[in-house]
Amino acid sequence: MTGTLDVALIGQRFMGRAHSNAWRQVAPFFAPPLHPFLHTIAGRDPKDLESFAKQWGWTHWTTRWQDLAEDPEIDLVDIGTPNDVHKEQAIAMLEAGKHVACEKPLAGTLDDARAMRDAAKKARRKSKTFVWFNYRRCPAIGFARKLVQQGRLGKILHVRAKYLQSWGFADTPLLWRFEKKRAGSGAHGDLNAHSIDLARFLTGEEIVSVEGAIAQTFYKERALLGDAAQLGGKSKKTKKAQAMGKSTVDDALLFLARFAGGAVASFEATRCAHGHENRNTIELNGEKGSVRFDFEDMNVLELFDAEVDAATRGWRRIMCTTADAHPYAGNWWPSAHVIGYEHGFVNMAADILRVLGGQEPELPLPDFADAYEVQRVLEAAQIAAKQGGRIPLREVK
């Protein structure tokens, strides 16, 4: 017999849709030990909330997220809100005895992230925490991790991560993502957070120092559009002067780092690279071979096996869609019937339900302590961008 997990979600925009879809899809595809019941959606915008709830199958809706803490029926609260409110919402839910699944980055600031990590530690007997580093759940990434663990690449020497987007040019208005007090940082926290998580996940190693960084805000002012502005929205081209506001985050941030095992790494995040819509790439070079992943071709992992004879050696393109061979693949479609962005979230929901139902996840899940380690690296890179030089991670807590 399967039990039920009553889920509530805060957030009704991009992540609200991605997470709602995950909770809706997961049971039929994975038959997890707990089935999610879509209990309540909380959102700030009363105008769209009821229709959002009905469209996605939420039973109740509220404009007060605090209601979720007070509702004894709710088991898990999923947080898909801007970074500045993660701390208050997550800690309130942990204090109310709920499990919490929070969007990445854990928070906008290291102080908030530390408070969240500490609250999770305090609540650990009753509550589990999870962080939606969704790219960990791409089958190709899980498979790359397996190859590293099996020693197929040998000792890892290089990690090369680039997360490039192109929606952040001058005509993009001042979304919350461009406000430091709401987002914490720009491309850095949004995109490098994913890359740092992937790098730690794939190598199984911690970053021990950041050695140099460049942050750049290419567009220091952006058109004010008010609260309703959405990702993907553009400023209208009008002859009238537009009211402008200050962008207070980076549009791009690049940094270098060292791993505990001796590997050297480079990270690049930008919202201003034409030709790259959502190009989340990572490459690992080891003594025996290399792997590379590009989210724009997310079903594929490329492998270069240096132990193959020189005459036939070359990059091998592996379609990671085969049941039993590649993580999560058996829960979806027959081989080569590819999956997409939303499946990472469904795969993650499945692992959350397995863990809460007493089973092992297919791949390890990041919790608040894990995401705090990512946040320390983000912070070290920001310090390096400001003051230059080498920032040992032991000094960033």
Which residue's CB is nearer to ligand SOE, number 127 or number 247? 247
Residue nearest to ligand SOE (CB): 190
Q: How far apart are CA 360 and CA 340, in angstroms?
A: 24
Which residue's CB is nearer to ligand SOE, number 228 or number 241? 228
**Cβ neighbours around 103 below 10 Å, total:** 23
**Shortest Å distance, C-beta 105 to ligand SOE:** 9
**Shortest Å distance, C-beta 165 to ligand SOE:** 6
**Shortest Å distance, C-beta 38 to ligand SOE:** 22
| Token pair listed for 218 | 């290419």
Which helix (H) or strand (E) element contains residue 38?
strand 34-42
C-alpha 59: how far from chain center: 27
**Shortest Å distance, C-beta 27 to ligand SOE:** 24
Give 327's Cβ-side CA count (13 Å radius): 25
C-alpha 393: how far from chain center: 21
Q: How far apart are CA 374 and CA 105, in angstroms?
A: 8
Cβ 355 vs Cβ 364: under 8 Å: no
Which residue's CB is nearer to ligand SOE, number 5 or number 175? 175
What spatial distance separates the first Cα and last Cα of the chain, rounded to whole Å? 44
Which residue's CB is nearer to ligand SOE, number 190 or number 250? 190
Give burial (CB, 10 Å; 0-12/13-18/19+) of 238.
Answer: exposed
**Shortest Å distance, C-beta 74 to ligand SOE:** 25
Q: What is the DSSP string of 162-214?
A: EEEE---STTS---GGG-HHHHSSSHIIIIIHHHHHHHHHHH---EEEEEEEE
**Shortest Å distance, C-beta 270 to ligand SOE:** 10
Which residue's CB is nearer to ligand SOE, number 190 or number 379? 190
Which residue's CB is nearer to ligand SOE, number 190 or number 373? 190
**Shortest Å distance, C-beta 77 to ligand SOE:** 19
Residues that bind ligand SOE (CB under 6 A): 165, 190, 278
Which residue's CB is nearer to ligand SOE, number 190 or number 283? 190
Which residue's CB is nearer to ligand SOE, number 160 or number 194? 194
**Shortest Å distance, C-beta 174 to ligand SOE:** 15
Phi/psi of residue 366, each to 5°? -75, 135
Q: Is 379 left (phi over 0), alpha (psi -120 to 50) or beta?
A: alpha
| Token pair listed for 21 | 């879809």
